[in-house]
Amino acid sequence: MRRVPARSATTAAAALLMLSGALTACASPQGGDSGADEKAVAEICPTADTEGTIKIGMSAPLAVFAPLLLGVETGAFGEAGLDVQIEKLPSAESLPLVARGQLDAQMTSLSSSHFNTLKDGVDVRWIVPMDDQQEIPPGTPVPGYWSHKDVVGSAASPDLTKLKGGDISTPTGGTGVSGLILDNALEKVGLGINDIKLSPPLVGPDALNALANGAVSAAWISAPLEVEAAKNPDLVPIAGYAPGVTGTAVMAGRTLLDRPEVAVKFTQVLSQVTTKYLDGDYRKNAETVRLLAAAEEVDASTIEDSALLSFDPTFSMDGTEKFADELQAFALERGELEYEKPLDSADLIDTRITEAAATCDSAVK
């Protein structure tokens, strides 16, 4: 069984314990008293009159959140009768607020904390996925792990065995999706996450600077900083998201789960803006570039030079349960969870919202 190195395990365990305590204190039974969970897909269709406020926690305006950002930036939610309010908070801070009903949802990545909420009986469920990762050629500048040419060699064929024993920075100290991506990449060359040294977590420009100056052998470079990393001829991308589900998710709390019609209409707006602005190579659409640059608070050139993301306007939940199962298994092996036997990941997922958004008559003009 793989275990977290001591210097990372202490930090991760402490964070999970604090979060668990906060969640347990406000836990509600799985399934609310409103009867909303018992409604079939055909019973949660919105109408033109469906309206409401949705408060969403989001750490930063990231490229992978583009449909949500565009819905806000274009005023599409307001035109549909929805008041979508974004609160910029780290995911670890917003999750307890969702559990307490002070926020309706998170725009985040699926994590160990969400599995612990399931174990504690707290109503937080994955209702909408975001980006759909496509197959990309090796060496393509994308968000993910980057290293040095003098460590792993060329971008087209990096030798990850050279990372053995090296210091690698992950944004979460080796936990969650970023830890799973690193472990999967190392597994292909007969290594694992225990074969490297996890440096203190670095994010944003700090991660890029540490990588550039040789403080670490590899680091997770998040969007849109892969554009800057690609400008450095000594840096090469080595591992990123596998094709398919990435774990980027709208995680809804009880206050939104009890209003499924509002959640469906919200999803229909996401679908509308995705079809209008994110079809094909949206980086060549001047209007999309302008809107995304404003929403992500970056220069237009950053949008034009960044990796092309793919968003399915149906927001199909296909593959989400498999992704959740794999992440839970990794978290269990790493000792990140408060339990030892896997839970049913399906209980963390509600597929009705996207199914209704696709099959109900559109309530969005």
Per-residue pLDDT tens digits for 314-333:
999 999 999 999 999 999 99
127 CB-near residues (< 8 Å, 6+ apart): 105, 249, 250, 251, 252, 256, 257, 263, 267, 349, 350, 353, 354
Amino acid at 81: G
Q: Which residue has the tokens 């920075």?
A: 169
Res 147 pLDDT > 50: yes
Q: Which tokens is 164 given?
A: 């053995």
Per-residue pLDDT tens digits for 268-301:
999 999 999 999 999 999 999 999 999 999 999 9
Q: Looking at residue 33, what is its pLDDT?
A: 65
DSSP state of 195: G
Mean pLDDT score of the chain: 89
Most confident by average pLDDT, 17-31, 140-154, 169-183, 254-268: 254-268
Per-residue pLDDT tens digits for 56-65:
999 989 899 9
Per-residue pLDDT tens digits for 66-102:
999 999 999 999 999 999 999 999 888 999 999 999 9
Q: Looking at residue 8, what is its pLDDT?
A: 35
Res 118 pLDDT > 90: yes
Q: State pTM to two decimals.
A: 0.85
Amino acid at 27: A
Residue 320: HSE in the Cβ half-sphere, 13 Å Cα cutoff: 27
What is the number of other CB atoms lying within 10 angstroms of the CB of residue 55? 20
Over residues 11-20, the mean pLDDT reads: 41
What pLDDT band is residue 11 in, cutting at 50, 70 and 90?
very low
What pLDDT band is residue 22 in, cutting at 50, 70 and 90?
very low
Over residues 158-164, the mean pLDDT reads: 96
Among candidates 332, 357, 330, 321, which has minimal Cα distance to 125?
321
Q: Looking at residue 139, what is its pLDDT?
A: 78
